Structure 1
Amino acid sequence: DELKARVGGDVITIATTDNAASAAELASKFGLTPAADNGTLRIEASDGAALIPRLVRDLSARVTAVTLRRPSLDDVFLKLTGRAIREEQAGALDRMRMMGARFGGRRR
């Protein structure tokens, strides 16, 4: 729970008709730092339930989807390392493949 507290409260995932413009507005109008994630914008807020109506009302682009949740350990990992766990797992698999290729892929 202490690690999750580092994320900064709630995690909001939002999709709009123009995510690029919305990302700029989230920074300039709301002082937030959105992260692009699979066609959505991920932001952290201390009180997500209070912020969501303001986002829907004040963003220029139409909001097409929004979710609100408490931070997960995946969020903590992303905050501390700058990478998603699945990226880290994929990187480890690639390293294992390279090691196998380097040693000729032979098994004893």
Structure 2
Amino acid sequence: MAGEPRADCLFCKIVAGEVPADVVRETGTTVAFRDINPQAPTHVLVIPKAHYPDAASLAAAEPTLAADVLREAGEVAAEDKVDDTGYRVVFNTGTGAGQTVFHAHAHVLGGRGLNWPPG
């Protein structure tokens, strides 16, 4: 069922505390942690605690929770002091876009020049 934790999901295991992560923020609905393979000085993942496979399914089922993820992305940027210099929030959807963990998550990237268009 959508929203329910999945035993085979790495991010659900992080939410449950079964897998360690460098958590930088946590709310009642979200967890933010540093990416293990950072692509910028600030590279933090913001995830909903509820399991949805991608951003579109999250937004369709729980728009308020999707907004929580975006709000927390802004808070992460402010805490890492990249909000004034600029940062990017990216949702990869599907393997063709580079999604490797099928639990909705936002990448917050900043702290270096971020050329457009990206890779």
TM-score by length of 1: 0.33
TM-score by length of 2: 0.31
Larger Rg: 1
- Greater relative CO (CA pairs within 8 A, separation 6+): 1
